[in-house]
Amino acid sequence: MTTGMARKKGKRTSRSGTTGIRCGLCGKKKKLTRTECCGQWICDDEDKYVIFSYATNSCHRNHRRYTLCGYHHMEGHPGDWRECRECREGFETELYVWYGTNEFNFVKLENPPQYKPTRCTKCGQVIRLAEEAFSTLGSSYFCERCTMARLPGGRL
């Protein structure tokens, strides 16, 4: 979100860094905006993201895309994300826990549900769904190594 867009939507921005306001995720003081989902101060830095890089160098993008708070808002769900049945049912439990407890959250999910780790159907290796490459076929999960072995020529 650019600062100009933020002003059009009635969001306050801080560019000077002299107000004492800081990004709630990284602590920086310059070029801040408020999140649309929860109204927290955050870096106005989505312009730094390079498309398809999958980098996590943007506080604003990380909160919007990798938290239940951001997801809940973008999907237009009513109420608090921590009590939302649609959000809870919208993800595998492992991913729901990650989206609710990762470092991109201002408020983390209290008492996240327990889950069994996801394992590769072929070799049994644990797959961390939010952090590792994998593929699925129906309800089967395959780690990156087993996915590669299944492809012609062994390439993704």
pLDDT for 10 equals 39
* pLDDT, position 8: 35
Q: Mark out the alpha helices in the chain (DSSP H runs).
A: 3-8, 59-65, 68-75, 85-89, 93-101, 144-150
Cα dihedral sign, 44-74-114-106:
positive
End-to-end Cα spacing for the chain: 33
Is residue 61 one of the residues assigned to a domain?
A: no
- Cα–Cα distance measured from residue 32 to residue 20, given in angstroms and rounded to the nearest whole number: 11
Answer yes or no: is 58 within a domain.
no
Q: Which pLDDT tens digit goes with each residue over 79-135?
A: 999 999 999 999 999 999 999 999 999 999 999 999 999 999 999 999 999 999 999
For the chain, how long is the longest CA-to-CA vector? 58
| Residue 114 tokens, joined | 């327990």
The pLDDT of residue 48 is 87
Query: What pLDDT, on a 0 to 100 scale, did the predictor assign at position 70?
Result: 98
Kindly report, residue by residue over 38-50, the tens digit of the pLDDT. Answer: 999 999 999 988 8
Looking at residue 1, what is its pLDDT? 34
| Structure tokens belonging to residue 97 | 């826990």
Instruction: Give the list of residues 6+ apart from residue 83 with CB closer than 8 angstroms, or none.
Output: none
Q: What is the pLDDT of residue 9?
A: 42
Residues 128 and 105 in one domain: no
pLDDT for 153: 76
Q: Give me the pLDDT at residue 154, please.
A: 64
One domain for residues 14 and 32 = yes
Q: Does the residue 133 lie in any domain?
A: yes
pLDDT band at 14 (very low <50, low <70, confident <90, very high): low
At 156, the pLDDT band (50, 70, 90 cuts) reads low
For 42, the domain range is 1-52
Total count of domains within the chain: 3
**Residue 40 structure tokens:** 């927290």
Cβ neighbors of 137 (< 8 A, separation 6 or more) are none
Average pLDDT, the chain: 88
Residue 57 within any structural domain of the chain: no
The answer on 109 and 124 residing in a single domain is no
In sequence order, the β-bridge partners of residue 42 are: 33
